[in-house]
Structure 1
Amino acid sequence: MYPPLVRRLVFPLHERFCRRPTLRRLRELERSQWMDPQALIELQETRLRQLVRGAAGRVPYYRRQFERAGMRSRDIERFDLGDLARLPTLSKDDIRRNINALQDPAALHHRIPSTTGGSTGQPLQFYIDRARQAADQAARARTRRWFGIDLGERELYLWGAPVELSSQDRFKSVRDRLINHRLISAFNMTPRTMARHLDVIQRFNPVHLFGYPSSLARLVRYARATGRRFANPALRAVFTTGEWLNPADRAAIEEAVPCPVADGYGAREAGFIAHQCPAGSYHIAMEGVIVEVLDPRGRPLSNGEIGEITITNLDAWAMPFIRYRTGDLGALRAAPCSCGRGLTCLDVVAGRRTDMLRTTEGGAAHALSVLYVLREQPGIVQYQVIQQTDLSLDVRVVADSTLTAQSHSLLASKLASCIGAGTPVRIHRVDRIDAATSGKHRSVISLASETPPHRP
């Protein structure tokens, strides 16, 4: 569809139909990014006080936390960034144990259920609202404009597309076409599917690509090995997210495209956190999130020191996320970016790397292909998938009584289809799955070759 028509008519109508104030938020973000750092901090503190008032007054979990911290009404009325350290951090386990107490009763009728992709081995269920959706969409649209790409331009997603679409997915597919989006699967990256993906790229001629860096790099390497063209004439930017963009993958993608490669950092539960600008800095979306970097004991670190990224989402009203520990590592940078934006920079983003899985056809499947199968299986509390050198899968699960022997058989069949029909899958029920030496759970471990050979 004609991009100006999408930008001026189709997209605004879509957002109005969804009751999301995305365009209003985008206009605000376009102005605020040029504010000086102190003005942005003051904006954060104003929004933080509003969030804290609502959480302390209506959300049972936070009411208890403020009481335990000895904070009274007058403290909450003048709450500032420095007061965050008086509150405990919020972990995934805290959310699971207190899922009901964390919700704002005033938002029960317009809350939207959501869940994480389960890359840590334990999917997290939570709730958001339309304002939070709008905030994330607007922040993402602003970063696109940093690279001269506006709403309505042709965008191709190399993302998580299930093989069989549900009715909701079919609706999204129609919607995506109306707003000039296309989606191709990052899951089963076999030579055959990658050849089809390259065909789609050439036909659709996207202005920008968006996807998992490992999957994009895999497709780039396949194109190079088979003499196919990856970049199309209209391509002006490649955006990556969902996992760490390592130097080797970045170099492979940059070599294949005549445009910038920019990485974004966020989490489904924590929101849109930071994105690279054309100068290469990861700018924090300060208007919507507060980023702290903490040591192992939960104490804030100075700029430049690497620690755990902890997020307070200023738009999470339906279910507040205050001092949420992401499990990712990073460091705040004191120096401003040469681009002139007042948004604080996140100097390091590390610690998120999901293994690719070998397929029987000689290709690679993104780990999320098996994670989504496990996430949807009732009864599974935690899981870990280990691919052996013969491509077989050992699946360790912590499960309750609702996971039956019959469920095992069906689950094994679904998991095998991700790698190739007939792939041996062994399911082991265990009492617990210990973390790796890094302290993080690795939900997918591939012992097979990391970069399988291509077969044209």
Structure 2
Amino acid sequence: MSGFQDLEQLPLLTKAEIRKNLKDMLWKDCPGGLFRYNTGGSSGEPLVFYFDRRRQAYDAAARAMTHRWWGIDIGDRELYLWGSPLEITKQDRLKDLRDRWTNQLLVSAFEISAERIPGLVEAFRRFRPDCVFGYPSTIDLFCRMAGAQGHRLDDVGVRVVFCTAEVLYDHQRESIASHFGGVPVVDSYGSREGGFINHQCSEGSYHVMDSNYVLEFLKDGMPAAPEEDGEIVITHLDAWGMPLIRYRTGDVASRRVEGCACGRGFSLMSKVRGRSTDFIVTPDGRWQHALSVIYVVRDIEGVDQFKIVQEAVDDVRVFLKVHEELYPADGDQRIARGFKKRMGETVNVRIERVSDIPREASGKYRYVVSRVAETATHV
């Protein structure tokens, strides 16, 4: 290979191929070691992958740089409304200590309920974050439920809200900005396995982190025309411990060709389309982020794909496509126990094995569908 243009000669990398060949993809003697992670499973296809310290450093540096675009510097207070597991592990406790040292506070986004709102508002008032980082659906829901209870959020110190991991819709941006007193609400795109890929500037453009990535936009396996939608394919230039070369993200966007008035020299892309997370509603009225049940299924060995459908507040169907030779004998029982632990013991969990889980017309999986949330009002 003599240049980035030669990448097209290499095959595309899929999640299925990573699962099948994971051990062969690792640089086992990578300086500083390797660190195991899981994706959230939000595409319906959970994935195990590894970071090395170089990649962690470059991703963190890119994030710190783009925070500075909005006046947030290293050491400023940052509150995460994030999808962390409910169970607290040793690793979680160590991360909590690290976050305290770096002026960061992690608040679980797994469930939002009327009973939790006063405590969450109090956490904001005690910590007084300069910025908030998290899922737009969760931040918006928290803001609206807090407002419905008469809590003010425009005086808690927040200067900017950073959204990621989901599509940020206009109505969410307007709601979040209004509740926090008119602060900027900024969008970014990335994934756990892919890293920190782009970020919005004050002009609203999405700037690609070109020093860390080569991005391709493919339509039917061929390069999409500028401004034409295509699947995002990434090559991470700093993922040495576990290379990601021409990795298919499953997300859809387009390459922009014009420059940005902000003057930054990064290449530009459109807003990502097609990613969204949902909520489920428990029998006692709690609204839980979809990741709370996604993690239950994701952590079972041998699960290839899944889809969760909440038919009623006490009735959930779980469609599973599994590798029979890997799926544990008590897998169904573990899933049912996990759902009941999060949603309540009265919930009926129906687990159904399928040979395939069809994609939506958009080409994406809709991994959680709540008939209850679709017909209910958050507040």
What TM-score range do you get, normalising by the shorter chain? over 0.9
SS at match of 1:305: coil
- Quote the residue 1:355 is aligned against: 278
- Quick check: 1:273 aligned with 2:209? no
Distance 1:415 1:402 in 2: 21
Is the Cα–Cα contact under 8 Å of residues 281 and 313 in structure 2 kept in the other structure? no
Is the Cα–Cα contact under 8 Å of residues 363 and 452 in structure 1 kept in the other structure? no
- Quick check: 1:447 aligned with 2:374? no
Output the amino acid matched with 2:57: A
Larger % of helix: which? Answer: 1
Distance 1:108 1:358 in 2: 45
Distance 2:90 2:200 in 1: 35
> Which residue, out of 183, 194, 211, partners 2:134?
211
1:233 is displaced (CA, Å) by 4.2
Distance 1:370 1:168 in 2: 21
- Quote the residue 2:8 is aligned against: 85
> Which residue, out of 63, 68, 91, partners 1:145?
68
Distance 1:379 1:282 in 2: 37
Output the amino acid matched with 1:299: M
Is the Cα–Cα contact under 8 Å of residues 76 and 103 in structure 2 kept in the other structure? yes
Is the Cα–Cα contact under 8 Å of residues 167 and 274 in structure 2 kept in the other structure? yes
SS at match of 1:83: helix
- Quote the residue 1:261 is aligned against: 185
Distance 2:11 2:331 in 1: 39
1:143 is displaced (CA, Å) by 0.9
> Which residue, out of 418, 429, 437, partners 2:353?
429
SS at match of 1:287: coil
1:390 is displaced (CA, Å) by 3.8
Distance 2:28 2:328 in 1: 36
- Quick check: 1:397 aligned with 2:316? no
Distance 2:56 2:215 in 1: 19
SS at match of 2:270: strand
Q: How does 1:41-120 map to 2 (within 5 A)?
A: 76=1, 79-104=2-27, 106-107=29-30, 110-120=33-43
Q: Which runs of 5+ in 1 are unaligned?
A: 1-75
Distance 1:161 1:102 in 2: 27
> Which residue, out of 223, 232, 235, partners 1:309?
232
> Which residue, out of 178, 182, 207, partners 1:283?
207
Distance 2:26 2:7 in 1: 20
Is the Cα–Cα contact under 8 Å of residues 302 and 325 in structure 2 kept in the other structure? yes
Deviations 1:142-201 (A, max 9, x none): 111111111111111000233331111111112111111111111111111233211211
Output the amino acid matched with 1:266: G
Percent identity, please: 42
TM-score scaled to structure 1, two decimals? 0.78
Deviations 1:28-59 (A, max 9, x none): xxxxxxxxxxxxxxxxxxxxxxxxxxxxxxxx
TM-score scaled to structure 2, two decimals? 0.94
- Quote the residue 2:56 is aligned against: 133
1:319 is displaced (CA, Å) by 1.7
Distance 2:87 2:30 in 1: 33
Larger % of strand: which? Answer: 2
SS at match of 1:335: coil
- Quick check: 1:295 aligned with 2:219? yes
SS at match of 2:351: strand
Output the amino acid matched with 1:415: F
1:275 is displaced (CA, Å) by 0.5
Output the amino acid matched with 1:413: R
Output the amino acid matched with 1:295: K
Distance 2:330 2:267 in 1: 52
Output the amino acid matched with 2:216: E
- Quote the residue 2:46 is aligned against: 123
Is the Cα–Cα contact under 8 Å of residues 314 and 346 in structure 2 kept in the other structure? no
Is the Cα–Cα contact under 8 Å of residues 306 and 348 in structure 1 kept in the other structure? no
Q: Which has the larger radius of gyration?
A: 1
Distance 2:248 2:54 in 1: 22
Distance 1:378 1:90, change over 3 A: closer
1:238 is displaced (CA, Å) by 0.2
Distance 1:210 1:404 in 2: 36
Distance 1:330 1:424, change over 3 A: same
SS at match of 1:183: strand
Distance 2:365 2:154 in 1: 36
Is the Cα–Cα contact under 8 Å of residues 102 and 320 in structure 1 kept in the other structure? yes
Is the Cα–Cα contact under 8 Å of residues 282 and 313 in structure 2 kept in the other structure? no
What root-mean-square deviation, in Å, do the aligned CA atoms of Structure 1 and Structure 2 show?
A: 1.9
- Quote the residue 1:62 is aligned against: none
Distance 1:109 1:234, change over 3 A: closer
Distance 1:454 1:264 in 2: 25
Is the Cα–Cα contact under 8 Å of residues 156 and 183 in structure 1 kept in the other structure? yes
